Amino acid sequence: MTDGILGKAATMEIPIHGNGEAGQLPEDDGLEQDLQQVMVSGPNLNETSIVSGGYGGSGDGLIPTGKSFSCAGKEVWVDSHRCLVYLRAGVRELGPLGSGRHPSHSTTPAGPGDEVARGIAGEKFDIVKKWGINTYKCTKQLLSERFGRGSRTVDLELELQIELLRETKRKYESVLQLGRALTAHLYSLLQTQHALGDAFADLSQKSPELQEEFGYNAETQKLLCKNGETLLGAVNFFVSSINTLVTKTMEDTLMTVKQYEAARLEYDAYRTDLEELSLGPRDAGTRGRLESAQATFQAHRDKYEKLRGDVAIKLKFLEENKIKVMHKQLLLFHNAVSAYFAGNQKQLEQTLQQFNIKLRPPGAEKPSWLEEQ
């Protein structure tokens, strides 16, 4: 058997050139044949060995790893990771074990940069592995809950508050959409009234017999435009405040709620995993897995408890802020609309002063976000 392996190895060592002729053996041919003998028989080392089929061999040979030894009077070192044979004359790469690839020549061994690259690649692999395991467990838990086969942790009071928040947000979004539609209609009305007032004023100059009638209609439209601009400023302020409440304050709380729900799913997934391991046999391997599962479960439990507390606090502050903001905005909207349709220009202007609303003059550019703060 050994002679057959050596014969195949020797055959694979002969390089074939492009013209089909056999090339010359390397200069250090005796060392290479001795190395093949060592690869087949293996020196007597107390290290972990890996099975190799050699270059087309039967797989009976053992290659020692992580040791240097003497072969034909020269120092040889075999690396199990890349199967590199380091010689005093240079480095000869035998390639993956059992691949049958012809040895290639190199001048220097792997440097520190290769080790750093392997370390980074290993860290990324660990991250992807942990993500995959976590995703699998959470997906399994979610499907179990959907089909009624798994149990889930429920905080009834907190779940009710979260559902109420989502319903409130939907209703406030509807109010926001209607408020924007109202501002669009008011703006169109103002443009029409302004154009109508200009037309009445022009006709009063060109129609002496109707000069008075056209004149006071033109003044009425101009007054309505002025009051309409005041009302439009109040409605815009109302819409802006509702938009901030819905898209920033409520959305921020709902983002924390989403994190809490994800943590709850992970907590239940690892809780179920721990319960299944606890019901299994208790051998040496199972005890190690059980301890690891217990530590992971505790970490996810702490994360779940923390986020549950954060959600409860944010819901409380959101409710207080919502009441404060809406009390002010609803009072503003009522007073402004009532004064406008009652034709009370003085009360309309006082309403804007009461809530510190400043109107931009016609044609003025929109202020920067720093000025709006």
Decide: helix, strand or coil at residue 83. coil
Q: Is 193:228 a contact under the CB 8 Å cutoff? A: yes
**Per-residue model confidence (pLDDT) at position 129:** 80
Compute the distance between CA of residue 238 and CA of residue 179 in angstroms, rounded to an integer: 8
> Do 267 and 308 meet the contact criterion of CB atoms below 8 Å apart?
no
DSSP three-state, residue 7: helix
User: Alpha helices, DSSP H only, in the chain?
Assistant: 2-12, 29-41, 112-146, 156-206, 211-244, 251-278, 284-342, 345-354, 369-372
Q: What is the pLDDT along the chain (373 residues), one digit of tens a residue?
A: 445 444 444 444 444 444 444 444 444 455 445 445 444 444 444 443 333 333 334 444 444 444 444 444 444 444 444 434 333 334 444 444 444 444 444 445 556 677 777 778 877 887 888 788 878 878 887 788 788 777 888 889 999 999 999 999 999 999 999 999 999 999 999 999 999 999 999 998 888 888 888 888 999 898 889 899 999 999 999 999 999 999 999 999 999 999 999 999 998 888 888 888 888 777 777 777 888 888 888 998 999 999 999 999 999 999 999 999 999 999 999 999 999 988 888 888 888 888 888 776 544 555 443 444 3
3-state DSSP of 248-272: HHHHHHHHHHHHHHHHHHHHHHHHH
- Answer whether 100's CB lies under 8 Å from 109's CB: no
Run of H or E residues at 369: helix 369-372
Q: What pTM was computed for the model?
A: 0.59
| Other Cβ atoms closer than 10 A to 326 | 15
Q: What share of the chain is helix, strand, coil (3-state, %, to 5)?
A: 70, 10, 25
Which tokens belong to 287?
């005890």
Question: Locate tokens 């943590």: which residue?
Answer: 263
The Cα 339–Cα 310 span in angstroms is 43
pLDDT of residue 360: 63
DSSP designation for 209: G
Token code pair at residue 24: 């010359």
Considering Cα of 241, then 244, then 247, then 251, what sign does the dihedral take? negative
Closest CA to 305 of 267, 348, 345: 267
- In terms of Cβ atoms closer than 10 Å to its own Cβ (0-12, 13-18, 19+), residue 146 is exposed
- What pLDDT shows up at residue 49? 38
User: Strand 84-87's sheet: what is its strand order?
Assistant: 67-71, 74-78, 84-87, 90-93, 104-106
The residue among 185, 322, 181 whose CA lies nearest residue 246 is 322
Tokens at residue 291, please? 């301890």
